[in-house]
Amino acid sequence: MVIAIEGMDGVGKTTIAKHLSEKYGFAFIDKPIKYLFGKENEKITPELDRLLNLIYDYDDNIIKTWFFGLGNIMAVRNFAGHDIIIDRHFVSNYYWNSDDSCQAIYRALFDIIGKPDLTIILYADTETRMQRIKHRDETDPDLFDDEKYDDGFSRMIEFVENNSHFYRVIDTSGLTINEVKHSADSIMDDFLNKNISLVMTKTR
């Protein structure tokens, strides 16, 4: 089972992904592109970070979408047969790297590794997100990156709707982290209970 946690920077993706993986016993995948370079047990090195920034700046969305899509493939295939929580997956790739010309790539990626069983999209307004990032680290480069101030929520919803992904949204604005965790737990409990019931029905 694959659960994807998505959203813009500062919404709490990593915190919630780690929480869900620990609570429900799922493997945690952070920054799937690391798996393309065999760096899954390491932080992004300065050398890899420079390479990724070159790709981000590359003026060809087809190339960028395939590149980060390969990271998605490597991460999911490395955990074949395991339940996983993945911090950023198809939705983030689409938002940051893709346009309408890339839809065929996503169809190929879905054929290769499938769609997530559940996508949880975390939302917060721009001011809230930037306050959280600043509280976390006043020198965070995201605070000085104009693109990070964009509200990408509508494009993310567009992607999951157009590609028939099963998803749920949590508006984290004004919520404490414990309240966000509680909302995520409720979504997971409901999702897992329904899937267990479905499996039991099919086996009778």
Q: In whole angstroms, give the CA distance from residue 55 to residue 63.
A: 8
Contact between residue 69 and residue 13 where contact means Cβ atoms under 8 Å apart = no
Q: Which residue range(s) make up the domain with 75? A: 2-203
Q: What pLDDT score does 139 carry? A: 85
pLDDT digits (tens, 9 = 90+) for 129-162: 889 888 888 887 777 777 777 888 999 999 999 9
pLDDT at 201 over 60: no
Position 132: which residue type?
R
Q: Distance between CA 69 and CA 4 in Å, rounded? A: 14
Q: What percent of the chain has pLDDT over 70?
A: 96
Which CATH number fits the domain that encloses residue 43? 3.40.50.300
Structure-token pair, residue 203: 């086996």
Spatial CA neighbour of 73 closest among 104, 33, 45, 26? 33
Q: Which of 47-61, 65-79, 95-109, 111-125 has the lowest average pLDDT? A: 47-61
Full-model pTM: 0.88
How many domains does the structure of the chain reveal?
1
Q: Which residue has tokens 């995201």? A: 142
- Name the E strands within the chain: 2-6, 27-30, 84-87, 118-123, 167-171
CB 56 within 8 A of CB 147: no
Cβ 144 vs Cβ 9: under 8 Å? no
**What was the pLDDT predicted at 18?**
97
pLDDT 10s digits, 59-104: 899 999 999 999 999 999 999 999 999 999 999 999 999 999 999 9
Instruction: Give the pLDDT band (50/70/90) at residue 34.
Output: confident
Q: Which two tokens stand for residue 81?
A: 């047969």
